[in-house]
Amino acid sequence: MENLLVPYQAVTKIPATQVLVLAPHPDDEVFGCGGAIMRHVEQGVPVHVIVLSDGAFGVDEDKATDYTQQRQNESIDAANVLGYGVPVFWQYRDREICYGEKLVQEILTAISETQANLIYAPSVFEMHPDHRALGIATVEAVRRIGSAIRLALYEVGIPLRPNQLLNISNLAKRKQKAMACFVSQNEKQRYDLDIAALNRYRTYTLPADVTAAEAYILVAAEELANDPLKLFASEHARQKSLGLALDSSDLPLVSVIIRSMNRATLSDALDSVALQTYPNIEVVVVNAKGMDHSDIGAWCGRFPMRLIGESTSLTRSRAANTGLGAAKGEYLIFLDDDDWFLPHHILTLKKEFDHADTAIAAYSAIQSINEQCEEIRRFEEEFDPIQLHIDNFIPIHAVLFRRQAIDNGARFDETLTVCEDWDFWLQVQKFGEFRFVAKVGAIYQMQNSMRSGVWDNPEHTRQVMTAIYRKWIPQWSDKMLWSILEYARYKRMHTELNKATNAQVRTLNKSVMERDTRIAKLNARIAELGTVIAERGTRITELGALVAERDARIAELGTVIAERGTRIAELGTVIAERGTRIDELGTFIAERDARISELDTRITTLNKRIADFLSSTSWRITRPVRTIRSFFQNRRLSDDH
């Protein structure tokens, strides 16, 4: 199962139509993804490179300008080798790249301007703080886009656990040439050889013909939108244990109060706080469990964190008041240890206060999910003070509120075991308006094993709500009571109207059903007729096919008869020719017989003449002479041989 940890195959290209490469320093764009840049250039894909910092950390002030220019020129020279164009330089000071809303917005603007659908950025696991800050900010920017783009995180200082390996075997020498352009850095340490060795090492799980590869974590924006903690589940725990801080700010402090029962989900809740783009947060974790709460350390990502509480367990209300008493923030927000914020949550709510001086609280929409992480509902109602006097519709971690509320005495009623947040919001409402942001800012995990008494014991909840009514009714003005009664009357009239309307609808539905029944019958009859017509059509088609077959057969027979007639005519011609030939042969035979007869007559005549000659006196007298002549002729022939 090793291939679940690292790929055992390498691709030769990562598809894209526009590419944006973000590099924290001049050289990271080549060290981290130089091979990928060349692959895109090969495919004719435009590549845009942004180098964020001047790379001049530790250089004397009087030499910094020249040094910065040298490093930029080195990046430009390397760009010529890679063939993508000229990089853009943002001129951040080295080691002053900070994760926060400003950087996230700048990255979003760059993505929009370049129309990139593939973004390269340093891994969030890098050791250098500039690398980490840029990586985390890019992750958040891509998460906000939520679709149609992908993020490729590359490695430079610390090897990552990749899900994509890119084969750069035939580009390794050219990448080496590009890395050699960074003379200022290679003089300090042979980073070019280190990266070449890293690219060689990445072939460890690949076929022998792959001699160099680059490693990436490739993730789609949709994945980050659905699970903002996807890339950080373990990374923030590591950063927290090291006490690393990425940013600081003089903006108003926000206190996040977490009532903890030391559940396993606490780490996810803390990670979601660590990812907040608002830069000035403290985390107050209240030990509601009592004994044996695990140590959580002093940092939640870059934010300071405290664990407070007594050695005994605390009720939900008592734990909330304990957190309020320890919080130092100008703004406060609660988060239960089984829920989590989306990264923009606190910043979005804080911005709502910036243009609403009279607001005491701001709250966002909340997405509620089940154990399978499927959405089951959304809390997204506009604020209605009358409705709030009737029941609660705002989850506790949706609301960011001003310290003014607790300075004016708002506290959780410790006699309440459930619905304590409803009672608290009724108190807070007295000091200002509630502002609603129609954007999901947090996740509410409604899992069976984590439900409070509100869900498990409806009768107990009814009793508690009745107690809250008894507590608040004496404080409500006649106008408020009348508004609530009017609301109830309106609801009753609305219900009666719905009943009447429903009766009319049922009558109409009945008529419609009867009409539909008639239509269905007509449709059935039409269907039957259609079937009959179709059957007739089929039969006609079949008969047509039979007629066509018969005509084809007749045509075939006609062709055969015509062929036979032609053959008979040809045979007649042959017979006539044979008769003529026979007549000719008869004439020839008759002529031959006549010639033979003539020859026989001549032979008879000759034979008679020969017989007469042989019986003559002269032939007998000359016989001795013929004998002697024959003797000498034979001898001459013998001598010649």
pLDDT-derived band at 495 (thresholds 50, 70, 90) equals very low
Is there a contact between 339 and 366 (Cβ–Cβ < 8 Å)?
no
Is there a contact between 366 and 334 (Cβ–Cβ < 8 Å)?
no
Q: What is the pLDDT of residue 245?
A: 47
Three-state secondary structure readout of 222-285: HHHHHCCCCCCCCHHHHHHHHCCCCCCCCCCCEEEEEEECCCCCHHHHHHHHHCCCCCCEEEEE
Q: Do 171 and 259 fall into the same domain?
A: no
Distances from the Cα of 248 to the Cα of 91, 240, 252, 303, 446, angstroms: 20, 16, 11, 9, 34
The residue assigned the tokens 């000498």 is 632
All residues at 6 or more sequence positions from 309 whose CB lies less than 8 Å from its CB, including other chains: 286, 287, 288, 290, 293, 319, 322
Tokens of residue 282, six digits: 């403290």
Q: Per mean pLDDT, which range of 5-19, 289-303, 468-482 is the poorest? A: 468-482
Q: What is the pLDDT of residue 512?
A: 60
Model confidence over 153-170: pLDDT tens digits? Answer: 999 999 998 999 999 999
Taking 80 as the threshold, does the pLDDT of residue 91 lie above it? Answer: yes
Which of residues 518, 536, 570 is at a domain's end? 570
Average pLDDT over residues 466-485: 80
pLDDT-derived band at 444 (thresholds 50, 70, 90) equals very high
Average pLDDT over residues 401-423: 94
Q: Do 470 and 504 fall into the same domain?
A: no
With a pLDDT cut of 70, the percent of the chain lying above it is 89
Alpha-carbon distance of 338 to 260, in angstroms, equals 9
Tokens of residue 273, six digits: 């706080």
Residue 268: Cβ within 10 Å count: 18
Average pLDDT over residues 179-208: 96
Q: What is the pLDDT of residue 1?
A: 54
Q: What is the pLDDT of residue 456?
A: 62
Model confidence over 200-253: pLDDT tens digits? Answer: 999 999 999 999 999 999 999 999 988 887 777 655 554 444 444 455 556 899
Q: Per mean pLDDT, which range of 32-46, 203-217, 579-593 is the poorest? A: 579-593
Taking 60 as the threshold, does the pLDDT of residue 454 lie above it? Answer: no
Q: Do 410 and 515 fall into the same domain?
A: no
Which residue did the predictor score with more confidence, 488 or 395?
Answer: 395
Distance of CA 636 to the CA centre of its chain: 123
Is there a contact between 484 and 386 (Cβ–Cβ < 8 Å)?
yes
pLDDT-derived band at 641 (thresholds 50, 70, 90) equals low
Q: Do 270 and 328 fall into the same domain?
A: yes
The residue assigned the tokens 């435009």 is 46
One-letter amino acid identity for 612?
D
Q: Do 205 and 261 fall into the same domain?
A: no
Which residue did the predictor score with more confidence, 491 or 511?
Answer: 511
Q: Which structural domain range is residue 164 located in?
A: 2-226
| Angle, alpha carbons 166-37-42 (nearest 5°) | 90
**H helix or E strand, kind and range, residue 21:** strand 19-23
Q: Is 409 left (phi over 0), alpha (psi -120 to 50) or beta?
A: left
Q: Do 281 and 401 fall into the same domain?
A: yes
Q: Do 34 and 182 fall into the same domain?
A: yes
Model confidence over 46-82: pLDDT tens digits? Answer: 999 999 999 999 999 999 999 999 999 999 999 999 9
Taking 90 as the threshold, does the pLDDT of residue 107 lie above it? Answer: yes
Average pLDDT over residues 362-383: 91
Average pLDDT over residues 494-503: 50
**H helix or E strand, kind and range, residue 165:** strand 164-167
Record the pTM. Answer: 0.66
Q: What is the CATH number of the domain that holds 120?
A: 3.40.50.10320
With a pLDDT cut of 90, the percent of the chain lying above it is 58
Domain annotation covers residue 618 = no
Q: What is the pLDDT of residue 308?
A: 93
Among 261, 269, 305, residue whose Cα is nearest residue 287? 261
Domain annotation covers residue 609 = no
Q: Do 458 and 488 fall into the same domain?
A: no
Residue 184: Cβ within 10 Å count: 16
Average pLDDT over residues 416-424: 91
Computed from CA positions of residues 362, 364, 368, 369, in that sequence, does the dihedral angle turn out positive or negative? negative
Taking 90 as the threshold, does the pLDDT of residue 619 lie above it? Answer: no
DSSP 46: -
Taking 70 as the threshold, does the pLDDT of residue 285 lie above it? Answer: yes
Domain annotation covers residue 203 = yes
| Angle, alpha carbons 118-122-126 (nearest 5°) | 155
Q: What is the pLDDT of residue 241?
A: 47
Model confidence over 558-576: pLDDT tens digits? Answer: 888 888 878 888 887 887 8
Taking 70 as the threshold, does the pLDDT of residue 363 lie above it? Answer: yes
Taking 70 as the threshold, does the pLDDT of residue 488 lie above it? Answer: no
Alpha-carbon distance of 201 to 255, in angstroms, equals 46
Which of residues 516, 537, 570 is at a domain's end? 570
Q: Do 471 and 485 fall into the same domain?
A: no
Q: What is the pLDDT of residue 639?
A: 65
All residues at 6 or more sequence positions from 85 whose CB lies less than 8 Å from its CB, including other chains: 47, 48, 49, 79
Domain annotation covers residue 580 = no
**Count of domains observed in the chain:** 3
DSSP 2: G
Taking 60 as the threshold, does the pLDDT of residue 497 lie above it? Answer: no
Strands (E), 263-414: 281-287, 299-300, 303-308, 331-334, 340-341, 359-369, 375-379, 399-402
Q: Is 226 left (phi over 0), alpha (psi -120 to 50) or beta?
A: alpha
Q: What is the pLDDT of residue 66?
A: 95
Distances from the Cα of 67 to the Cα of 62, 96, 586, angstroms: 10, 17, 127
Q: What is the pLDDT of residue 168?
A: 98
Domain annotation covers residue 222 = yes
Q: What is the CATH number of the domain that holds 286?
A: 3.90.550.10
Q: What is the pLDDT of residue 617?
A: 74
| Angle, alpha carbons 148-274-242 (nearest 5°) | 120
Taking 50 as the threshold, does the pLDDT of residue 453 lie above it? Answer: no
Is there a contact between 106 and 20 (Cβ–Cβ < 8 Å)?
no
Alpha-carbon distance of 291 to 635, in angstroms, equals 159
Domain annotation covers residue 381 = yes
Distance of CA 540 to the CA centre of its chain: 55
One-letter amino acid identity for 192?
D
Q: Do 433 and 486 fall into the same domain?
A: no
Taking 80 as the threshold, does the pLDDT of residue 460 lie above it? Answer: no
All residues at 6 or more sequence positions from 89 whose CB lies less than 8 Å from its CB, including other chains: 26, 50, 51, 54, 72, 75
Three-state secondary structure readout of 104-128: HHHHHHHHHHHCCCEEEEECCCCCC
Burial of 43 (0-12, 13-18, 19+ CB in 10 A): middle
Alpha-carbon distance of 315 to 330, in angstroms, equals 25
Q: Cα Rg for the chain, rounded, in angstroms?
A: 53
Domain annotation covers residue 29 = yes
Alpha-carbon distance of 519 to 275, in angstroms, equals 61
Q: Do 144 and 255 fall into the same domain?
A: no
Taking 80 as the threshold, does the pLDDT of residue 508 lie above it? Answer: no
pLDDT-derived band at 598 (thresholds 50, 70, 90) equals confident
Among 259, 364, 382, residue whose Cα is nearest residue 319? 259
pLDDT-derived band at 394 (thresholds 50, 70, 90) equals very high
Average pLDDT over residues 607-611: 81
Distances from the Cα of 2 to the Cα of 7, 201, 408, 503, angstroms: 8, 16, 60, 65
Among 38, 13, 26, residue whose Cα is nearest residue 173? 38
Q: Do 51 and 191 fall into the same domain?
A: yes
Which of residues 448, 476, 504 is at a domain's end? 476
CA dihedral angle for residue 539, residue 541, residue 544, residue 548, rounded to 10 degrees: -130
Which residue did the predictor score with more confidence, 638 or 204?
Answer: 204
Which residue did the predictor score with more confidence, 151 or 294?
Answer: 151
Is there a contact between 210 and 9 (Cβ–Cβ < 8 Å)?
no
Please provide the average confidence, as pLDDT, over all residues in the chain: 87
Residue 534: Cβ within 10 Å count: 11
Distances from the Cα of 559 to the Cα of 114, 379, 546, 622, angstroms: 76, 86, 20, 88
With b meaning 16 or more CB within 10 Å and e meaning fewer, what string describes 358-395?
A: ebbbbbbbbbbbeeeeeeeeebbeebeeeebbeebbbb
Three-state secondary structure readout of 413-477: CCCCCCCHHHHHHHHHHCCCEEEEEEEEEEEEECCHHHCCHHHHCHHHHHHHHHHHHHHHHHHCC
Domain annotation covers residue 626 = no
Sheet holding 88-92, edge to edge: 88-92, 47-53, 19-23, 118-122, 150-154, 213-220, 164-167
- Which phi and psi angles does 299 have, rounded to 5°? -135, 140
Q: Is 323 left (phi over 0), alpha (psi -120 to 50) or beta?
A: alpha
Among 117, 136, 145, residue whose Cα is nearest residue 48? 117
